[in-house]
Amino acid sequence: MEKKYMAEPYKIKMVEPIAVTTRAQREEAIRRAGYNTFLLDSEDVYIDLLTDSGTNAMSDNQWAGLMLGDEAYAGSKNFKNLRSAVQDLYGFKYVVPTHQGRGAENILSQILIRPGDYVPGNMYFTTTRAHQELNGATFRDVIIDEAHDSEAEHPFKGNVDLDKFQKLIDEVGPDRIPYISLAITVNMAGGQPVSMANIRAVSELAHSYGIKVIMDATRCAENACFIKHREPGYEDKSIREIIREQFSYADGCTMSGKKDGIVNIGGFLGLNDEDLYQKATSLVVVYEGMPSYGGMSGRDMEALARGLYEAADYNFLAHRLAQVEYLHDKLNRAGIPIVKPAGGHAVFIDARKFYPHIPQDQFPAQTLAAQLYLKSGVRSMERGIVSAGRDKQGNHHYPKLELVRLTIPRRVYTYAHLDVVAEAVIDLYKERDQVKGMRMVYEPPVLRFFTARFEPIE
C-alpha cells in the first residue's frame, strides 16, 4: 500500500523552469564534468538533489525582509534582528555572523584548538574535520556503532557512544580535548538524529572533565522534530522548547544558515563565554568582515533571522520529514539498499550493496551518482571514499558507509519530482550488473570531492 503523504503546508507563488535534457546531452555534460556531479552546470540538471545547502525556497516573508536590508558598513539593524533571533531561539548570548557554516568552523577551530589536540565527534563532517585538521587536531569518531551500519534501525542513530568518548579521555587526557563536536543531526550517517537524553549525557560527561560541548547546529530544527516524534516525554513539547533545550547543554555552536536557516547564504557562531566571543570577533574581522556582518549583507541577515523562526515551525518540519520518508519508503519497498531509518534531509543509497562488484577504490558511490545523472538528469552527491579523503600518511580513508545522497531542498520539489527520482533509481538497480567503476584522474589536496575528476574504467 502506498503511504498517504502530508500535503505541502505552503502554496507556490513563483516558479522556476527546469531543463529537460536528452541522454546525448547528459553524456556530454557528465564527461565535461569529469564524472563529478559537483562539476555539472546547473542548467544541465533536471532535478537537483545535490544538496539542501543554500538551495531552499525562501518565503514571501523572507523576500520581504530582503527589501529591509540595512547595508550600513557597521551596526546594521538586520544584525540586531539576527542576534535576537539566535538569542531567542537557541539561547546563546553572543552571535558572530559568518558567510556560511565553514566560516564559523574556521574561527571556532582557531580559537579552541592547539596543535596535538583531539576532537571527538559523532562522525566526521568534511568541512568541520578539515578545519580541525588544519589547526593541528586529530578527529576521533565516537558515534555509536549502529551509525556505520546502513541496515541498523535505531531511532537515534546519531548518538554518541559514551564509552568511546570516555576511552578517548582516558587515553589522551582531558587537557588534550578542547571540545566535543556534536552534530544534530548527523549528515554523514544519513541525517540521523541525536536524542535529548544522549545530548544531556554527553554534556554531563564532557563538562565533568572541563571539556566544552560545541554543537553543529546546521540541522538542529530537524533534530528537534525527530525528538518530538520519537523520544518519550517530548511529544507535547513545542519545537522551540526542544531547540532551546538542545542548546542549553552546549557551550557554543557553529551554524550553516543554508540548511535550517532556509536561506541561500549565511551562517554564524553562537557562544556563551565573553572571552571566547572577544577572540572570535578579533578573527572575524580578518576572515569575514565586521562583527556586525561577518560576510553577509544586511538583507541576507534579515532573511536568515526570519528563516530561523520559520524552520522552528512544526508544520514545516513535519512536511519536510514526510517528504524524505516518502522517497525512502518508495525505494525501500522496491528493495533498493538504503540507509535506515529515514533521516532528516536526504535518502542515502548504499552504493556498496547497489554495486557489490565495484571495489571501494573504484568509487562505487561516485559511479552511481554519475549513472543516476546519465539515466535521468537527477543530480545527487557522493558521500563515500571520495568525500572521506586521505589520512595523514596519504592513504584513502575507507569509510564503512559508501553512500549516494539524494538530498531534498526545503520547499522546492513536489512528491511528483520524488516519484521521478525513485523510478530512475529503481531502473538503474535493474541494470546494476552492467556498470563498471571509475578511476580518479585529478585530485586536489583538501576536500577533494568538490573538484576531483574521474574516468570510467572500460
Which residues of this protein are in contact with ligand PM9, per CB under 6 A?
Answer: 51, 53, 100-102, 125-128, 183, 187, 216, 218, 256, 258, 267
Note if 254 is an active site residue.
Answer: no
Note if 439 is an active site residue.
Answer: no
What sections of 377-446 are H helices per DSSP? 385-388, 415-430
Note if 176 is an active site residue.
Answer: no
How deeply is 114 buried, as exposed, middle or buried, from its count of CB atoms within 10 A (0-12, 13-18, 19+)?
A: exposed
Note if 449 is an active site residue.
Answer: yes
From 21, 126, 254, 367, the catalytic residue: 126
In whole angstroms, how close is the CB of 386 to ligand PM9 at the nearest point?
Answer: 11
Q: For ligand PM9, which is the closer residue by CB, 365 or 435?
A: 365
Query: What does R_g of the chain's alpha carbons equal in angstroms?
Result: 21
From 41, 73, 414, 436, the catalytic residue: 73
In whole angstroms, how close is the CB of 72 to ligand PM9 at the nearest point?
Answer: 25
From 92, 125, 179, 413, the catalytic residue: 125
Q: Alpha carbon of 81 to those of 187, 292, 304, 382: distances in Å?
A: 28, 11, 9, 37
In whole angstroms, how close is the CB of 127 to ligand PM9 at the nearest point?
Answer: 4
Note if 316 is an active site residue.
Answer: no
Q: For ligand PM9, which is the closer residue by CB, 137 or 169?
A: 137
Q: Which amino acid is at 229?
A: H
Q: For ligand PM9, which is the closer residue by CB, 37 or 292?
A: 37
Note if 333 is an active site residue.
Answer: no
- Return the residue matching grid coordinates 555534460: 29
CA angle 163, 271, 95 (to 5 degrees): 145
Contacts of 224 (CB under 8 A, 6+ apart): 239, 242, 243, 246, 312, 317
In whole angstroms, how close is the CB of 126 to ligand PM9 at the nearest point?
Answer: 5
- DSSP annotation of 18 reads -
Q: For ligand PM9, which is the closer residue by CB, 40 or 169?
A: 40
Note if 259 is an active site residue.
Answer: yes
In whole angstroms, how close is the CB of 447 to ligand PM9 at the nearest point?
Answer: 8
Which residue in 223, 168, 163, 167 sits closest to 196, CA to CA? Answer: 223
Is it true that the peptide bond before 341 is cis, omega within 30 degrees of 0? Answer: yes
Q: For ligand PM9, which is the closer residue by CB, 111 or 183?
A: 183
- Return the residue matching grid coordinates 539524494: 406
Residue number of the CB closest to ligand PM9 reads 101
Catalytic residues: 73, 125-126, 216, 259, 383, 449
